[in-house]
Homo-oligomer: A and B are copies of this chain.
Amino acid sequence: MEKLQTEKCQAIMQATLRLVATQGFHGTPTSQIAGSAGVGVGSIYRYFKDKDELIHAVHAQLEAKMHLALAEQLNLELPDRELFIVLICSLINHLLQNPLEFKFLEQYYNSPFGIEKMREKFLVDELPNSDVSKPFLNILFGGKGKTVKDLPKPIIHSLAFGPVIFIIRDHLAGLIELNDGLIQNLAEGCWDAIKI
């Protein structure tokens, strides 16, 4: 897997991210990926077993990057409400600054690929490493706090993250021009939805 760090390999993954985000998985032939990466078609198969594995690799890299970006914003000293809002705002800002990544992830999760991944993620209660989801989960389900409604996880999840995905989609579609104030308003709305 150290192969993933070579220059060519990164070029392939970058091209895949860019093209899949704009054209969809089925809309981007491997030939185009190779062309865009300045690489021969065959080279793709030197690094990845097939197209699916390439997609999964790009997804894994994106998730890692996102987790890292969010982890920076962590300040566990804040009260629940403020911590939640800061994290939601960070999440939105990160996705707005990386629209290709958002679009790729949307493609990914709305395909047979992502369904399983999502399932794994949600069903595993104990996250292995210091995941970014940890702080979220602690706020949302920390037994001590009692600042959040006592409802099943998926309900809280939906109320907290559903609006985030929606609004970013609208922004990228040009239906609204988000700014810091509006993002703050949205995050507060999400909090109002889940707070006791």
Q: Pick the interface stretch among A8-16, A35-43, A126-134, A164-172.
A: A164-172
Chain A residues touching B, majority SS: helix
CB-based contact B167/A163 at 8 Å: no
Q: Which residues of A contact B (CB under 8 A)?
A: 24, 26, 106-107, 110-112, 115, 118-119, 122-123, 149, 151-155, 157-159, 161-167, 170-171, 173-176, 182, 185-186, 189-190, 192-195
For A110, list chain B residues within 8 Å (CB). 106-107, 110
CB-based contact B175/A155 at 8 Å: no
Residue A154 contacts which of B115, B175, B190 (CB distance < 8 angstroms)? B175
How far does the alpha carbon of A87 sit from the alpha carbon of B29 in the complex, in Å?
Answer: 43
Q: A155-B176, A173-B119, A176-B154 are in contact. Are A189 and B193 (CB under 8 A)?
A: yes
How far does the alpha carbon of A190 sit from the alpha carbon of B192 in the complex, in Å?
Answer: 9
Instruction: Report the minimum CB–CB distance from A29 to chain B (whole Å).
Output: 13
CB-based contact A159/B175 at 8 Å: no
Residue A119 contacts which of B171, B175, B189, B193 (CB distance < 8 angstroms)? B175
